[in-house]
Amino acid sequence: MRYNVTRNHDLFDDFFDNMFRAPVYGGQSLMKTDVREKDGKYILDIEMPGYRKEDVRIALYNGTLTISAERHSNNDEKDDNGRIIRQERYSGNCSRSFYVGEGIKDSDVHASFADGILKIELPTEQKKEEEEKKFIDIL
């Protein structure tokens, strides 16, 4: 993703830029995301069917929010003599990133997971870092 220092980034600019580059598997997009604004917050509802809360990680680094998930399963069916008659394994991961601005801190981001939906809330307005007054020594 390109970043222009002189441009004032809006959260929706990057959501819509990334919308058509979502990961695809089997013809369906993974991590389908709905974004809405309510009460001074952006609310992301991300579909994650088949994943559990323990499978999901959220990271915030340099203004980029990254959601990733990894899942492994192993299904064995054995007959009465203990012989395997069917064995299936699945291993997969997915990830999605959004530029949210460098004014957002990890304490500003709140997440919950229920019924295969990851819900993330973050403020719409970025807090500007207050610069400390710096004094110049007089020699």
Rounded average pLDDT over 111-127 = 88
Between 86 and 40, name the one with better pLDDT: 40
Q: Is pLDDT at 99 greater than 80 in this prediction?
A: yes
pLDDT number for residue 10 = 52
Could you tell me if 109 and 120 are in contact, meaning their C-beta atoms sit under 8 angstroms apart?
yes
How far are the Cα atoms of 45, 75, 77, 86 from residue 83, in angstroms, in the given order?
44, 14, 8, 9
- The residues near 82 (Cβ < 8 Å, ≥ 6 apart) are none
Contact 41, 121 (CB under 8 A): yes
Q: What is the dihedral of CA 2, 34, 94, 109, to 10 degrees?
A: 80
Query: What's the pLDDT tens digit per position in 62-85?
Result: 889 999 999 887 778 888 887 877
Enumerate the domain spans of the chain: 11-123
pLDDT of residue 44: 95
Protein fold of 11-123: Immunoglobulin-like (2.60.40)
pTM: 0.64
Q: What is the pLDDT of residues 2-46, one digit of tens each?
A: 434 444 445 555 544 544 444 444 434 578 999 999 998 999 999
What share of residues in the chain are helix, strand, coil (percent, to 5)? 10, 45, 40
> Mean pLDDT for the chain?
76
Closest CA relative to residue 11, chosen from 82, 96, 104: 104
Query: Could you tell me which of 72, 116, 78 has the C-alpha nearest to residue 90?
Result: 72
Helix (H, G, I), strand (E, B) or coil at 116: coil
Q: What is the mean pLDDT of residues 89-104?
A: 86
